[in-house]
Structure 1
Amino acid sequence: MTVPRSTLRLQFHRGFTFDDALAHLEYFAALGISHLYASPVTSAVPGSMHGYDTVDYTQVSAECGGEAALKRLADKLHERGMGLIVDIVPNHMGIAGSGAHNGWWRDILEWGRHSAYARHFDVDWHSPDPALRGKVLLPCLGAPYGEELAAGRIKLRFAADTGRFNIEYGDHVCPVCPIDYAALLQSADRTDLNALAEQFRGLTTQPADQPRAAQACDALREFARQNGATSIDFVLQAYAPEDPVTRDHLHRLLERQHYRLAWWRTAADEVNWRRFFDISTLAAVRVERPEVFEAVHALVFRLYAEGVVDGVRIDHIDGLAEPREYCQRLRQRLSELREGAPYIVVEKILARGEPLRDDWPVDGTTGYDFMNDVGALLHDPRGAEPLASTWAELSGRSAVFADEALVARRKILNENLAAELDRAARALHRVARDNLATRDFTYTSIRRVTGELAAHFPVYRIYPQNGLRSAADNVYFDQALDAARRMLSRADCTVLERVDMWLGSGVDEPAGVREAAAAGSNREATDLRTDLRTDLRTDARTDARTNPRAQHPPQGAATGAFNHAAAARRTVQTLFSQLTAPVAAKAIEDTACYRYGRLISRNEVGADPGEFAISVDQFHASNLERARRYPHAMLVTATHDHKRGEDVRARLAVLSEIADEWSATLRAWSTLNTPQRRAPSGDTTADALTDDWAPGPAAEAMMYQTLVGCWPPDLSADDEAGIAELAERVAQWLLKGLREAKVRTNWFAPDEAFENACRAFLFDILAPQRRDGFLRELCAFVARISRAGVINSLQQTILRLASPGVPDLYQGTELWDFSLVDPDNRRPVDFEKRAAMLAEKPPSEFLADWHDGRVKLAIVQRMLALRTHLPELLSQGAYVPLAVEGAHAERAIAFARRQGNAWAVVIATRLAVPLLSEADADAKAGDRALADIPLVEPARWEDTAVRMPEELFGRAMFDWVSPAAPKVEDNGLLYLRDALTSMPVAVLVEDGVPRT
């Protein structure tokens, strides 16, 4: 296996192509990157800026340059000894435009259940809603169906280039099933069209008839070519939406299709196919089916076999029915294609203490767990309570994040994912009906129970095997079970116990079912599970009481019943897991994190805002565990999904050290800006005495944190153009934040008057006339905490580059990253500027001019050079936590990496505000320039020292990031006043090479 030394994540799209990346390859190589790490390279919806909406798994994105450009990039990478890792998306496909660009989805819309791809997508073809049986809900209309039909916005169109009739609505193009073509062509009452209609007569949706339909469409296309497309206008006129009679014809035609056009707001309640979270333009695929697995990975398998691709990153592993089996199958297939073990990492959100499963044959996660660890380490735990109290007082909301999380989970279950909850509850209800003891459990009671379990589920999901939960699953399932039990009535608790059993407890399960589950092979279990939805929902089985053979099963049916019951339970476990994962993502990351503002530097993907800080010992424990179990996992501090740039979070973490001062500042700024408050319904000034104003206290408090966090280092209160640019960026964040919070406005039903009032407030407080008021105060406060923020930034940078794992660099974050949530964090990157700033000087040379970010770039370059110079030291070396002693022991972290006789000792300053404040006081009468340097004056460390390993006693070590060469005392102490003389971090190296 070729394990990357380091990776650079690049976001490819039509504005940044493979050839654009190739143009910067010299810079990437000089920086020290070993592998480029690409966003999805498959063909996506036209104009996609991220690539996660794949429409064709077999083709490299033409917008990104196509396969030829990708191979040019890979060839040049390999010439330099570098490699390429690609992101793959096995969970879902893009269907924007109702699948106008997605051939698989279009085929489903055209042929329904008899499409060759009907089982590629996770569609419930047997919906309990009669209007959706055998149909796919298309929630794409901007208003109710009747209104859009009457307004003439839904139209029948003919595509002359393909010979196909389509239903068009804006950008949505939906095929008409060819079995309707005969009637369509006859409606024009023309001899030539009647003759064409004969070719379509007698067609059915059966697969055997579909080739004949294609031939007939070819004939229709040829007819249009010879006679002009206008020759078909007679047909279109018979279905014109402008006239009531022909509009009724159009409606009846629509009713015969394998889809139902619907208002977009129906999706949350009625969608009958699995989505990616609650996004109705992303349809989930059934990659657990072998033929779908092969089709989804066709391109990446070929590119890997050809040596173009060197590793893969799996997007949203928790969306899959069987993550374990998927990873096993993927590794096996890749291993068959090429010698050596493939490098595979998975995007997985882990709760504190939740391990990545040992039976997943992967190299680790994509690093959200590390980002959470290092982010929590930056925070002072003493700030947690006072900041929570201030937040509750100002906002009127709970001081406890768990309260917000539970409210958000209930909201998401009831409003955004109600259809997904219904689907899981219906599957459980069918299991209940199969058992005489539970046949009277109602659907409603089962839905209540399922909803409570999902609302209290503490992690993304469980991973049962052969229908039974593991001990690791039960650690988290039992938490949800206990919480649900406390919330439910006694009657519902009876149902809860059975649901617990069906979801894999194994308690009181009939022996035959348990044995059948245990005896089945993984392949058989998968086949049973994936086919069960069809088997269970047939009309014949639903009405089995009318079938004598069903009432009196033949001899030997008992074993089949046991197998059937085992498969049914595995199915409900899958549906439950595919419910809890999106609930967690949407409720926590996309709702509660926008509602809870104690300190938004902890409101990040993969983090729990309720966990404010972790200790140095906890950080060491996580690194030791990572080194032991997944030494090649990715380490990230910024991603394409982050809500705030890594340096925004680092600066905001400083507020945890000055909680009382920040609380007073919040109150003062709110009072100062009271005159700018707006009435929530318009642009009029709000009454200062009212509680109802825009943006409201919660959004206002989070807005001030955002401004403090993202304020550029060199932006002054007098720079009108710079402040205006910043205001636009923050306004974009504000709009997204308000809608994601789902309190006064949301994406489904936006309150534009309220949103505009919030925007007006933001621009008012940042207006030029405030330069001598709020803007001066804001600038002064940012300057007050910036040095401590820089120390935090350099700390998390050095920890990422020296900890066990593969450090990943998100595009552009070599310099300061003060970005906000997407699309702000996906802005174009000036790689030429970064290339020009590369230098062979030690990072300490750039600390005094830290504002330009060059010191951070130099640390990245220097540490990647160390990984090249001593590759085994940081990739395979042991991780050794080192104790810090003395007066300021809590304000430093230290550890060593050891490989043979080679050592690297990492030391970083942390929680530096008190030490910097003392220096500030002294600097008032001295050199103010010195007071701007993000460095604790060496004498301030007093007797603080690192207790070094015995092998290094009495040794002089050379700092990889500065010219310093501090000596370890003979008693094993390395004093920080010697080690941190010119940088707030140090990487002291002993390469193990004997010297004379």
Structure 2
Amino acid sequence: MTVPRATLRLQFHAGFTFDDAAKHLDYFAALGVSHLYASPITTARPGSLHGYDAVDYSQVNEELGGEAGLKRLVARLRERDMGLVIDIVPNHMGIGAHNAWWLDVLEWGRHSAYARHFDIDWHSPDPALRGKVLMPCLGAPYGVELEAGRIALRFHADSGRFQVVYGDNVCPICPVDYAAILQAAEDNTELTALAQTFEGLTTQPEDQPRAAAGREALRTFAAQHGPAAFDPALEAFAGTAAVSHERLHRLLERQHFRLAWWRTASDEVNWRRFFDISTLAAVRVERPEVFEAVHALVFRLYEQGLIDGVRIDHVDGLAEPREYCQRLRQRLVDLRGNHPYIVVEKILGRGERLRDDWPVDGTTGYDFMNDVGSLLHDPDGAAPLAATWAELTGASPSFADEAIAARRQILAEHLSAELDRATRALHRIARDHPTTRDFTFAAIRRVVAELAVHFPVYRIYPQIGLRSNADNEWFAKALDGARRTLSRSDHEVLARVDAWLGGSGGDAERDARDARDGRGHRAAAAGSSQGQTQAQVQTQAQGQPQSSTSAAAQKARPAAPPVTPFSHALASQRTALTLFSQLTAPLAAKAIEDTAGYRYGRLLSRNEVGADAGEFAITVEQFHAANQERRRRFPHAMLATSTHDHKRGEDVRARLAVLSELAPEWSAALRRWSTVNAPLRRFVEGGAPAVAPASDAAGNVPDPQHWAPGPAAEAMLYQTLVGCWPPGLAADDEGGIRELAERIAQWQLKALREAKQRTSWYAPDEAFERACRDFLFDILAPQRRDGFLRELCDFVERIAPAGAVNSLQQTVLQLTSPGVPDLYQGTELWDFSLVDPDNRRPVDFAARAAALAPTPPSERLREWRNGHVKLGVVQRLLALRAQMPEVLGTGVYLPLTVRGTHAKRAIAFVRQHGNGYVVVICTRLAAPLLESGSGLPLVEPAKWEDTAVEMPAGLASRTLMDLLSPAAQKVNGDGLLYLRDALAAMPVAVLLEDGVPGA
């Protein structure tokens, strides 16, 4: 098995290609990573900066350098004994003019070869959408755009196709209608002759080759006579005349797509999207032929030895994550016979565990990022900071309240169509039973909505239509929440929906248990072992033949009852379960990460992907327990502290965590800054923004809800300034502050729109947004240098050393905990980035390479603001992982007890394999100990007083060398190591026995 020692995530795009990465391989190797970890490399929409909008799964993106560039990069990696892990996106594709699969679906509808590649509901209850695909791409209502002539019929000479074009959107006309289009050119014998080629054409697959031949004839005609030869036909559908609009409208009504205003998507879209993004269509990778097509390139690259593993994006979007992972691993194993490295992007709630029956190496590290981030916070700050937040903003002090409100809004305004689809699946089950046929669609929808709103994790993973005990644990919490909020008249419906969604009772449960006990169980078991998908099982349920067995085996088999094991009820239940799970996952993501996280600001360092802002801090014991479980269950899981999706860089969060230790001082600063900057607020109500008056002629104070940016947004703005203020930036550095303001303005706009309160992506209030931007630039204006700006700089300067201590602690824990450390590009130095696109800015790898040095990190502590001390720690610890792979790889993890006056301000543990030891000691919650210090991120040794670590018996009276400083530490005869000695040169220590390689 090829397991990375450490990975480095790179974001590839046209501005940073494979060849660009290859230029820095010597630096990456010197840094100590074993594998590059690439963003998606399949062909994406032109100009994509992230690659998650793939349009062709079969080709390496030419904008990145194509397959030739990839091979050049891998060849140079192999020269350095390095490998490559790639990000794959099996859940969705980018749609549009560059996606051949999608265009074929629009052209041929249900008879397209790719009709079942996408998760489309071809049987919509809306008659206008039956057999059609909703295309919500119009900037205004359909009739308005049609009459304005912005929807146009065009002929594409290169493909011989007639297309409807709207802006960048292209929708191919079905060839069945080509004859009518060509015949619309009156008295044009040539076009009339061409029309005969398409006479009598149908959408049936057997007719599609004839359509292709007809299009070839059109291409040839265009090549001979020029594309303008088709203008007489096109003109019949163009112009401003009402008859032309009507003719074009009738043509569009006959197509397999329906053009619609973009605002219709949330309510009416009849295909599954990625979250609520109507340019990303979900793919039915559970179908065997789709699975093979989606992974064709991945399998070829793996078979050729070009990649060593994969990261599975958004695994919770898939119909059957467990079966998908089984199938993927088996296919990769079959290709090369080794054990591929596979990790999944999975958000785990506190107490939720990655399933043991998923054959993967772990998650991509959001769980570790949450654990280590929580550890940095002082729990004593939770209550006072929540009280301050509520006082200043008038909002609830509870994140749970904000999360529930956000879930309701997202479900109603953004995922209504997805809610309807899950409800319809359950309504069909209800109609099949006399006892439930009177359960109305509306009642079931109310129940499903409340279950989804109160669902505590992303989703469940039932098997054969039944929930597991782990599923029931989470489902029970959703049931409790739904019971509290639903009317008692809906409780009976809730009980039945519970049963239909895999709970106890009901025909479907009996069918599932029959399936487990009889032939269905054997089929399901075989499917599990061989990677069989849900689609295959459902095919068997519909009575299609299965593989035959010998006569002897048939005689030996006990007689089975004459029923179909996978009955209609079970198939319906599995469909409902899938749709419900594919509803709760995007709801959680959009409501928690992208809405509530931008509304609730007790402390923004806890508002992060994979985190629950309601969970403020964890104990050292909880952190140790999580590390021990990870080592036991998924020892090769990724350990992340920053990602391409993070909301704030790892060192922004580390600095903000210091505020949990200084709650009274921070609360006072917030109140003071709010007062100082009050005259700069804008008042926005029904017109252009103006500076908010203190009061009107009658003495009335303007309603704070009409201020820009508003109390909540203003409080979060101050946190953001404190968190991302670059080290050493002075109040009189106009250029530096202007550059920072531009970056923060990007964050602010995104934050305001994601919060979806006074503005949003769907309905932007540009006057309000402009007023918020003006406020930001006003408070950072040069004339504030002796007021607010000076105070802000002084405050940052005060807490920055404690923030650096947190950062170094976080870095050491990432690089020494059980798992595979994953560095995000550029974070080897201080990472004060904000949410994308800020966290995807170009990285100066040359500067980082120049900063590498053989000197111990402790010698760089005095110049800590340049980040070189962090780079030194990363380099040394990655080298140690190479020198002691068993110890820091799968070695035992032993928590160590810290005792003494400041025991809560340190964390310590040992990694051990055989006779090899690595002792890790980190300073934590250091702010009180740094008061009146030297300005360095280092606690003065004497302040540790009697605080000591109880060392393992095997290290008593031993001399230990610090990897991060020249110091040698002596464990006394009682097995104690005093922190005044161990942490005298650095706030973190990694100790090895003298004489051990690396010491």
**What's the TM-score, normalizing by structure 1?**
0.95
Residues 589-617 of structure 1 show CA distances to partners (whole Å, capped at 9, x for unaligned) of: 00000000000000000000000000000
Conservation of the 8 A alpha-carbon contact between 1:739 and 1:746: yes
Letter in 2 for 1:179: V
Does 954-963 or 983-992 show the bigger shift?
983-992
Q: Residue in 2 aligned with 1:976?
A: 979
Partners of 1:251 and 1:558 lie apart in 2 by 54
Deviation of the 1:560 alpha carbon? 4.6
Partners of 1:656 and 1:573 lie apart in 2 by 41
Partners of 1:106 and 1:525 lie apart in 2 by 27
Conservation of the 8 A alpha-carbon contact between 1:901 and 1:991: no
Counterpart pick for 2:101 among 96, 100, 104 = 104
Pair 1:714–1:86, CA change in 2 (3 A): same
Alignment of 1:298-309 (within 5 A): 298-309=296-307
Partners of 1:163 and 1:933 lie apart in 2 by 70
Deviation of the 1:508 alpha carbon? 4.7
Q: Residue in 2 aligned with 1:545?
A: none
Alignment of 1:334-733 (within 5 A): 334-509=332-507, 512-518=510-516, 519=518, 520=520, 521-522=523-524, 523=527, 526-527=534-535, 559-560=563-564, 563-681=567-685, 682-688=688-694, 689-690=701-702, 691=704, 692-733=706-747
Partners of 2:622 and 2:657 lie apart in 1 by 18
Q: Residue in 2 aligned with 1:84?
A: 84
Partners of 1:561 and 1:114 lie apart in 2 by 30
Give the root-mean-square deviation of aligned CA atoms: 1.6
Letter in 2 for 1:368: Y
Conservation of the 8 A alpha-carbon contact between 2:382 and 2:616: yes
Residues 160-189 of structure 1 show CA distances to partners (whole Å, capped at 9, x for unaligned) of: 111111100001111011111011111112
Q: Residue in 1 aligned with 2:552?
A: none
Letter in 2 for 1:916: L
Letter in 1 for 2:948: A
Alignment of 1:213-228 (within 5 A): 213-228=211-226
Q: Residue in 1 aligned with 2:12?
A: 12
Partners of 1:994 and 1:109 lie apart in 2 by 63
Deviation of the 1:121 alpha carbon? 0.3
Alignment of 1:889-908 (within 5 A): 889-908=903-922
Counterpart pick for 2:939 among 936, 940, 957 = 936
Letter in 2 for 1:956: T
Letter in 2 for 1:988: L
Q: Does 1:870 align with 2:884?
A: yes
Partners of 1:139 and 1:561 lie apart in 2 by 41
Deviation of the 1:150 alpha carbon? 1.0
Matched residue of 2:833: which SS? coil
Partners of 1:907 and 1:664 lie apart in 2 by 33
Q: Does 1:958 align with 2:961?
A: yes
Pair 1:994–1:664, CA change in 2 (3 A): closer
Q: Residue in 2 aligned with 1:48?
A: 48
Counterpart pick for 1:837 among 851, 870, 874 = 851
Conservation of the 8 A alpha-carbon contact between 2:402 and 2:599: yes
Pair 1:417–1:991, CA change in 2 (3 A): farther
Partners of 1:281 and 1:491 lie apart in 2 by 40
Conservation of the 8 A alpha-carbon contact between 2:541 and 2:571: no
Deviation of the 1:488 alpha carbon? 1.2
Q: Residue in 2 aligned with 1:740?
A: 754
Conservation of the 8 A alpha-carbon contact between 2:639 and 2:822: yes
How many residue pairs get aligned? The number is 961
Pair 1:15–1:534, CA change in 2 (3 A): farther
Q: Residue in 1 aligned with 2:814?
A: 800
Partners of 2:587 and 2:969 lie apart in 1 by 52
Partners of 1:642 and 1:869 lie apart in 2 by 31
Q: Which consecutive unaligned segments of at least 5 residues does structure 2 have?
A: 544-559, 695-700
Conservation of the 8 A alpha-carbon contact between 2:508 and 2:570: no
Q: Residue in 1 aligned with 2:867?
A: 853
Does 73-82 or 362-371 show the bigger shift?
73-82
Conservation of the 8 A alpha-carbon contact between 1:529 and 1:570: no
Q: Residue in 2 aligned with 1:121?
A: 118
Partners of 1:89 and 1:329 lie apart in 2 by 15
Pair 1:87–1:511, CA change in 2 (3 A): closer
Conservation of the 8 A alpha-carbon contact between 1:650 and 1:789: yes
Conservation of the 8 A alpha-carbon contact between 2:538 and 2:571: no
Conservation of the 8 A alpha-carbon contact between 1:39 and 1:51: yes
Partners of 2:954 and 2:724 lie apart in 1 by 44
Partners of 1:897 and 1:557 lie apart in 2 by 57
Q: Does 1:136 align with 2:136?
A: no
Q: Residue in 1 aligned with 2:192?
A: 194
Conservation of the 8 A alpha-carbon contact between 2:344 and 2:363: yes
Q: Residue in 1 aligned with 2:801?
A: 787
Letter in 2 for 1:595: R
Residues 355-380 of structure 1 show CA distances to partners (whole Å, capped at 9, x for unaligned) of: 00000000000000000000000000
Q: Does 1:265 align with 2:263?
A: yes
Matched residue of 2:802: which SS? helix
Q: Residue in 1 aligned with 2:171?
A: 174
Structure 1 vs Structure 2: percent identity of aligned residues? 71
Partners of 1:142 and 1:216 lie apart in 2 by 34
Matched residue of 1:847: which SS? helix
Q: Residue in 1 aligned with 2:951?
A: 948
Q: Residue in 2 aligned with 1:553?
A: none
Deviation of the 1:230 alpha carbon? 0.8
Matched residue of 1:966: which SS? strand
Deviation of the 1:933 alpha carbon? 1.0
Residues 93-138 of structure 1 show CA distances to partners (whole Å, capped at 9, x for unaligned) of: 001xxx2000000000000000000000000000000000000000
Pair 1:994–1:486, CA change in 2 (3 A): closer
Letter in 2 for 1:765: I
Pair 1:63–1:952, CA change in 2 (3 A): same
Deviation of the 1:680 alpha carbon? 2.0
Partners of 1:387 and 1:797 lie apart in 2 by 26
Conservation of the 8 A alpha-carbon contact between 2:960 and 2:970: yes
Partners of 1:177 and 1:27 lie apart in 2 by 54
Does 378-387 or 154-163 show the bigger shift?
154-163
Conservation of the 8 A alpha-carbon contact between 1:150 and 1:241: no
Q: Does 1:327 align with 2:330?
A: no
Conservation of the 8 A alpha-carbon contact between 1:35 and 1:82: yes
Deviation of the 1:516 alpha carbon? 4.2
Deviation of the 1:299 alpha carbon? 0.1
Residues 752-804 of structure 1 show CA distances to partners (whole Å, capped at 9, x for unaligned) of: 11111111110110111111111101100000100000000000000000000
Matched residue of 1:559: which SS? coil
Matched residue of 2:682: which SS? coil
Conservation of the 8 A alpha-carbon contact between 2:509 and 2:570: no
Conservation of the 8 A alpha-carbon contact between 1:512 and 1:562: no
Deviation of the 1:244 alpha carbon? 1.4
Deviation of the 1:248 alpha carbon? 1.1
Residues 224-254 of structure 1 show CA distances to partners (whole Å, capped at 9, x for unaligned) of: 1100111111111000042211111111111
Letter in 1 for 2:925: L
Counterpart pick for 2:293 among 292, 295, 307 = 295
Partners of 2:868 and 2:619 lie apart in 1 by 30
Conservation of the 8 A alpha-carbon contact between 1:517 and 1:563: no
Partners of 1:24 and 1:659 lie apart in 2 by 43
Matched residue of 1:260: which SS? strand
Letter in 2 for 1:579: L
Matched residue of 1:958: which SS? strand
Partners of 1:430 and 1:215 lie apart in 2 by 43
Conservation of the 8 A alpha-carbon contact between 2:122 and 2:131: yes
Deviation of the 1:486 alpha carbon? 1.4
Alignment of 1:747-758 (within 5 A): 747-758=761-772
Q: Does 1:911 align with 2:925?
A: yes
Partners of 2:483 and 2:539 lie apart in 1 by 33
